[in-house]
Amino acid sequence: MKKISRILAVMLGASFMMVFVFFGQVFAEASAEDLAEASAEDLVGASTEVLEDDSQIPELYIRAVNPGYIVEGKNNVGEMIEIVRKKSDEPILLAGATVGYTNSSGNRTVLFEFPENSWMTGESILLRLASSPMSELANVNYTKTLAFKAGIDLSVNGEVVDKVCWTGKNDCYEEFKSSNPTTLVRNLKTGDFEHVLEYVPKYEVAAYRVEKDEEKEVASQCKGLIFSEILSYYESLQSEQFIELYNTSAEQILLDGCKISYKNKTYDLTGVVRAEEYYKYLPAFSLTKNPTNAGILEIIDTDGTVVDELSYPNGQRKGTSYALVGYNEAGVEVWRTTYAPTPGEANNYQEFKTCEQGKVINEATGNCVKITSVAEKICPEGQYLNILTGRCRQNEVASEKTCKEGYYLNPETGRCRKIQENNGTDYSVAPETFEEKSSFVALYIIIGVILLGLGYLIYEFRQEILKLWRKVFRRSR
């Protein structure tokens, strides 16, 4: 009896334990879901949430970062940096504040430096890449795109007040992946960053202002500058590469402060381009000869805006340039590959290459072909040489030819024939007549056809003809 009681007690205890574990798992899963929902709300919620007491987050801090992705064939979609401040009723002077960028190799550059007379009047400032499709929906534009492995920092007067990195190494957050587009967003409760699938930064037009200083204000100086020609596929040396710019304005343009952007790097321009003139720029970098994907170049103004963009496509050929040759009826630029590069001068469109001596262009293939040996002959008088076929052809105008005394020009053959002379006593003088061989040939052909037809009729009706012949022959007898 005691054994049975013990067994029942053990079974009852086990049952209670199983029930306890089951409900514990249920409550744990529910708590995890609640926590996940709460975390998601914190991350995707209002980007300018007011923080009452959080010593881990500075007064001015980085809220979110997106390196931009390729969406429906467009580059840098979504790239942005969102900077937020804690609760404040007064504008903040941003003089001395900079946003730094550090690549995966550890090299740091200044991404954007706020002007001395710039103010943060709202709760957040939205920075976007100048070449991004959404660049207009931003308070500030920068020109260097963010990589999927990199980091940024926010500094004030040389002191770093906030930073975040995403290389997956050395305490940095996980890198971005093009296969899973995310935004790195700060959790306002923990202060840490997390990759979020959906995040919409807040953009307020009035959240940032730059007060004009009449003495220090510098007007945009690169407007009116466009690309007009580029040579990437050089013959033998890279130094043959060039980029040609053209000043469309009625005033000269000072290039100091203007930049060219290529493959996410910018290069300074110097010099002066006179009004409505061309400028040859020898790049301090190597252009891809014949890019698989279109090569993109941009002219960046002093204020960071894109003045002009050039996309040179695949299909470049050695020794040719890609040039602006005009505009169509809709006013759209027309670019063509030309075999006559003109760096620093008006463009010249030459569709085919220039062939060496002894060769001519075959327009069907675009290649140079050798002139046949017949072309070296001298054609008879009244004929000309067809350089494509190497054959002599009759001149269309033979009447211009003159014959020496005692000869006359035969208009049919274009040749000089001797005049036949007589005294007129035996027979009168009459012009000599000629017949074309082709006339006799035609006559022979007609007679032959008639004979063949007659022969066929005789053969076809031979029985009837034979019967008729017999009847006639009998009557005659």
pLDDT, residue 42, reads 39
Alpha-carbon distance 298 to 405, whole Å? 76
Instruction: Please list, residue by residue across 240-255, b when 16 or more beta carbons sit within 10 angstroms of its beta carbon and e when fewer do.
Output: ebbbbbbbeeeeebeb
The model's pLDDT over 87-134, given as tens digits with 9 standing for 90+, comes to 777 899 999 999 999 999 999 999 999 998 899 999 999 999 988 888
**Contact assessment for residue 222 and residue 302, using Cβ atoms and an 8 Å cutoff:** yes
Q: DSSP class of residue 420?
A: P
pLDDT, residue 347, reads 94
Inform me whether the pLDDT recorded for 274 exceeds 50. yes
Instruction: Please list, residue by residue across 288-322, b when 16 or more beta carbons sit within 10 angstroms of its beta carbon and e when fewer do.
Output: eeebeeebbbbbbbbeebbbbebebeeebeeebbb
HSE value, Cβ hemisphere, 13 Å, CA-based, for 134:
19
CA neighbor of 312 nearest in space, from 196, 233, 245: 233
Is 29 exposed, middle or buried (CB count within 10 Å of its CB: 0-12, 13-18, 19+)?
exposed
Is 199 exposed, middle or buried (CB count within 10 Å of its CB: 0-12, 13-18, 19+)?
buried
Domains of the chain with bracketed CATH: 60-210 (2.60.40.1260), 225-338 (2.60.40)
The model's pLDDT over 298-317, given as tens digits with 9 standing for 90+, comes to 999 988 899 999 999 998 99
Instruction: Pick the range with the lowest mean pLDDT from 33-42, 211-220, 283-292, 331-340.
Output: 33-42
Helix, strand or coil, per DSSP, at residue 457:
helix
Helix, strand or coil, per DSSP, at residue 466:
helix
